[in-house]
Amino acid sequence: MKGKIKTDIDLIRFFEVTTACKRDVYLYTDNGDQLNLKSKLFQYVVVVVFEESDLEMLIGFVEGDVEI
Amino acid sequence: MGEITVEEKLNLLAGQMYTAVGAGTWGFGEEGELFYSTAANQDEFLNFFKMGGCFTFAYEKEGGWKVPVILSDSIGLIWIAQHAQVSQGEYRMLVVIGPFFMSSTSLKRIEDELRRKESSVFIRRQMMRVLSDVPVAGSNMLAQYAAMLHYMITGEKLDKSRLVYQEKKCAGEEETREINQPVAFDRKDYNEKLLLKAVKEGNGKLLDSVEADRGMENGLLSGSGDALRDGKNTVIIFEALCCRAAIEGGVSGQIARRMEYEFISEIEKCATITQLVNMNMNIYEKWIETVHEYKRNVDISGTIREACDYIKSNILSELSAEKIAAAMGYTPYYFTKKFHKEMGMRVTDYIKQAKIEYAKLLLLTTKKTIQEISDLLNFGTRSYFSKVFHEQMGVTPAAYRNNLNREVSNEREN
């Protein structure tokens, strides 16, 4: 399952949810990055990229088990 | 001219921190709302502060932080925080300075980690651009900034021993990293002689005149690209030196090496830089205490000293006078007489005393139940353990634990 991320998302809440997911949650950028959002470092990366660019991002679950 | 308000002092500090150090200063309200910030990349750093668990930790403190607390997250960002009464004491604000890195290797480690995870050049460049604005400050500099913050808020000089380092692990994954560069032992002249002399002599008072951070104050001794790893390497090297100094101070080699081994295991468990700093200080004090204890017992023969070491080394085993006598190569009769003559107490009483000392440590540093501690120390029954504990300490194990927790809590508040 994949979905596009809204630009006005509450990132803190978003990461709380992705951290609580049982399975890995990935964020895909149109630069070809596949960022595992369970990683704190990648969460920080997402913060930076969100603030700094108009990059389009897609979120996907390996096996989606929660709703955001 | 009227008195300068706390707000004006903080404003001055913020200007100094920004211009001289390149560090941001933040003011947060009672509910965590941001009042002001002088930080570069404010949006990003604010999110980092919140996501890394530091924000929650700072606000969890009942009554607020009356002394500065050093906070850190899983990627090595460090913040200094303290609450301030503003608007003539009507409103409480959390003042935060940061972020900092404790070592320039932190940034390199993050870059390596992103490369290892095959992140695109775009992502790496964006991340590095933001993080390169984070100033680097060693633990001594951080303590100085904390003291400045404390002075601006309270008008009082901060006793460095009152500085609090965040113990609780922040949210963040454990990542295993390989050391991809040889460790560089670029040893600096950092009060090391005095620190080790204090261990060798079992005399902590030697340090009263030294603004030393127990072995970490002049930066880290290795350059693995991972600040936490470098910190651990530095502390482990320092532990080895303390171990040697303790042996020279009279502690038996066997005991000192066992202590060193246990301490290194504890050091390896630290998940953040601030945990490591706390651990380093605690361990250093234990070395001094141990040597001090040995020096007090200077009239005791080598055999009885060895027997005491044997008891402490095997405190979790079934111990008896017969067993210890056999280990020392004596008959039980001769050994017990000799022990009593030199130590002024029976072997069995010494064993009980040593067990209670160990139980105190477990009560303070672990969450083990009274029953578990009783079983671990082979007391037979919980009630017997409590009875012996009460005889020696004047309180039950549970009361002892509660009292200590209360004391620690009060000390931190003050």
Cβ contacts of A13 on chain B, cutoff 8 Å: none
- Residue B181: which pLDDT band, with cuts at 50, 70 and 90? very low
- pLDDT tens digits for range B219-276: 555 555 567 788 888 888 888 889 989 888 888 887 888 888 888 888 888 887 777 8
Report the helix count and the strand count for chain B, using DSSP H and E.
17, 6
Is residue B313 within 8 Å of B254, Cβ to Cβ?
yes
Q: What pLDDT shows up at residue A59?
A: 60
Is residue B74 within 8 Å of B48, Cβ to Cβ?
no
Amino acid at residue number B402 = N
CB contact A64 to B (< 8 Å): no
Is residue B25 within 8 Å of B15, Cβ to Cβ?
no
Q: Give the whole-number percent of chain B exceeding pLDDT 70.
A: 85
Residue B281 reports pLDDT greater than 90: no
Closest to B282 in 3D by CA, of B197, B189, B167 = B167
Cβ contacts of B52 on chain A, cutoff 8 Å: 40
Is residue B41 within 8 Å of B23, Cβ to Cβ?
no
Q: Which long-range contacts (CB under 8 A, 24 or more apart) does B8-13 make?
A: B9/B152, B9/B153, B10/B84, B10/B86, B10/B95, B10/B152, B10/B153, B12/B152, B13/B148, B13/B149, B13/B152
- Residue B356: which pLDDT band, with cuts at 50, 70 and 90? very high
Record: contact B52-A40, CB cut-off 8 A: yes
Q: What is the DSSP letter of B222?
A: -
Q: What pLDDT shows up at residue A68?
A: 44
Considering chain B, what is the average pLDDT of its residues? Answer: 81
Element (H, E) at A29: strand A25-29
Q: Which residue has the higher pLDDT, A34 or B397?
A: B397
Is residue B396 within 8 Å of B386, Cβ to Cβ?
yes
Cβ contacts of A32 on chain B, cutoff 8 Å: 120
- pLDDT tens digits for range B306-317: 888 888 888 888
CA distance A15 to chain B (A): 8
User: HSE-up of B256 (CA within 13 Å, CB side)?
Assistant: 23
Residue B177 reports pLDDT greater than 60: no
Compute φ and ψ for B127, nearest 5 degrees.
Answer: -65, -45
Cα separation, A39 vs A55, whole angstroms: 20
User: HSE-up of B366 (CA within 13 Å, CB side)?
Assistant: 14
Helix boundaries (H) for A1-68: 11-20, 40-52
- pLDDT tens digits for range B42-58: 888 999 999 888 898 88
Cα separation, B103 vs B138, whole angstroms: 7
Is residue B363 within 8 Å of B355, Cβ to Cβ?
no
Q: What is the DSSP letter of B408?
A: H
Give the pLDDT mean for B325-335: 90
- pLDDT tens digits for range B9-18: 899 999 999 9
Is residue B166 within 8 Å of B71, Cβ to Cβ?
yes
What residues are paired with B101 via a beta bridge? B77, B136
- Residue B290: which pLDDT band, with cuts at 50, 70 and 90? confident
ipTM value for the complex:
0.82
Record: contact B52-A52, CB cut-off 8 A: no
Is residue B101 within 8 Å of B227, Cβ to Cβ?
yes
Record: contact A53-B114, CB cut-off 8 A: no
Residue B212 reports pLDDT greater than 50: no
Is residue B149 within 8 Å of B93, Cβ to Cβ?
no
Is residue B238 within 8 Å of B280, Cβ to Cβ?
yes
Closest to A12 in 3D by CA, of B360, B111, B44 = B44
Record: contact B119-A45, CB cut-off 8 A: yes
Record: contact A51-B43, CB cut-off 8 A: yes
Residue A20 reports pLDDT greater than 50: yes
Which of A52, A54, A56, A57 is the mutation pick for testing B, counting most B CBs within 10 A? A52
Give the pLDDT mean for B384-393: 92
Which of B108, B118, B122 is the mutation pick for testing A, counting most A CBs within 10 A? B122
Looking at A7-11, A64-68, B170-174, B238-242, which range is the least confident one?
Answer: B170-174
Looking at B106-110, B329-333, B368-372, B384-388, which range is the least confident one?
Answer: B106-110
Residue B218 reports pLDDT greater than 90: no
Q: What pLDDT shows up at residue B40?
A: 87
Q: What pLDDT shows up at residue B95?
A: 94
Residue B96 reports pLDDT greater than 90: yes
- pLDDT tens digits for range B187-211: 344 467 778 888 888 877 666 545 4
Is residue B132 within 8 Å of B140, Cβ to Cβ?
no
Is residue A57 within 8 Å of A29, Cβ to Cβ?
yes
Q: Give the whole-number percent of chain B exceeding pLDDT 90.
A: 21
Cα separation, B24 vs B40, whole angstroms: 7
Sign (positive or negative) of CA dihedral B141, B57, A49, B38: negative
Domains annotated for chain B, with CATH where assigned, are 6-178 (no CATH), 184-413 (1.10.10.60)
Q: Which residue has the higher pLDDT, B395 or B138?
A: B395
- Residue B84: which pLDDT band, with cuts at 50, 70 and 90? very high
Is 0.80 surpassed by the pTM of this model?
Answer: no
- Residue B410: which pLDDT band, with cuts at 50, 70 and 90? low
- Residue B411: which pLDDT band, with cuts at 50, 70 and 90? low
Give the pLDDT mean for B277-292: 85
Is residue B250 within 8 Å of B295, Cβ to Cβ?
yes
Give the pLDDT mean for B23-49: 91
